Amino acid sequence: MIRALILSVAEGVIKRFSASSAHGALESRELFQHYGFTSRPKPGAEAVVLRDGNVFFSVAEDDRRYRLAVEEGEVALYSDEGDKVHFKRGRVLEISAGTKVSLITPLVEMSGNLVVGGNVSDSAGSMAAMRITYNSHTHVDPQGGSVTATTQTM
């Protein structure tokens, strides 16, 4: 087992890394990752490298500069920009993103309540705009004039 400092990572069918270690420079070596998970360590990340003869390959990388502190039993995915998916104690899943969260799927289902702190919009407009239109609309009174819908609001 060799500890190494990542210098660069190249994407491809076989992901390759270059690193420096006590055993010298490691150039264009294979970066193994777990099935279903991929990452691209930044220069300065640390790696555990295994050696089999003249074949060196990384089996684990870490970057303590960005690592999250988690409680016992918790799990998190995180980026160097501070975005995270954090499985917290108490069966809470926290997703934090600095710009947006995008769900690319034909259907989203929920079994519980939805609480929104901001505005809700679709292709026809925002819920706030619909409320203003609905709550301020008037009807013609059959006895003359018009009446507002003051008793039933959206």
Q: Which residue type does 30 have?
A: E
Q: Please check the confidence at residue 152 and state whether its pLDDT lies above 60.
A: no
CA distance to 104, 126, 144, per residue, from 114 (Å) = 19, 17, 42
Q: Where do the structural domains in the chain lie, given as residue ranges?
A: 2-62, 66-111
Which pTM was predicted?
0.73
pLDDT value for 3: 95
Supply the mean pLDDT for the chain.
Answer: 89
**Bigger pLDDT: 113 vs 147:** 113
pLDDT value for 151: 54
Token pair recorded at residue 144: 């003359």
Q: In what order do the strands lie in the sheet with 75-78?
A: 75-78, 84-88, 92-96
The CATH number given to 2-62 is 2.40.50
Give dist(CA 93, CA 91) in Å, integer.
7
**Bigger pLDDT: 66 vs 121:** 66
Give dist(CA 61, CA 5) in Å, integer.
9
Q: Please check the confidence at residue 69 and state whether its pLDDT lies above 80.
A: yes
Q: Please check the confidence at residue 102 and state whether its pLDDT lies above 90.
A: yes
Q: Which residue type does 143 have?
A: Q
Q: Which residues contact 65 (CB under 8 A, 6 or more apart)?
A: 44, 80
Mind listing the pLDDT tens digit for each residue in 3-40?
Answer: 999 999 999 999 999 999 998 999 999 998 889 999 99
pLDDT value for 131: 74
Q: What is the mean pLDDT of residues 115-131?
A: 81
- Contact between 30 and 14 under an 8 Å Cβ cutoff? The reply is yes
Q: Which residues contact 57 (CB under 8 A, 6 or more apart)?
A: 29, 30, 31, 32, 49, 50
Q: What is the mean pLDDT of residues 130-142?
A: 74
- Report the alpha-carbon angle 75-81-83, nearest 5: 40
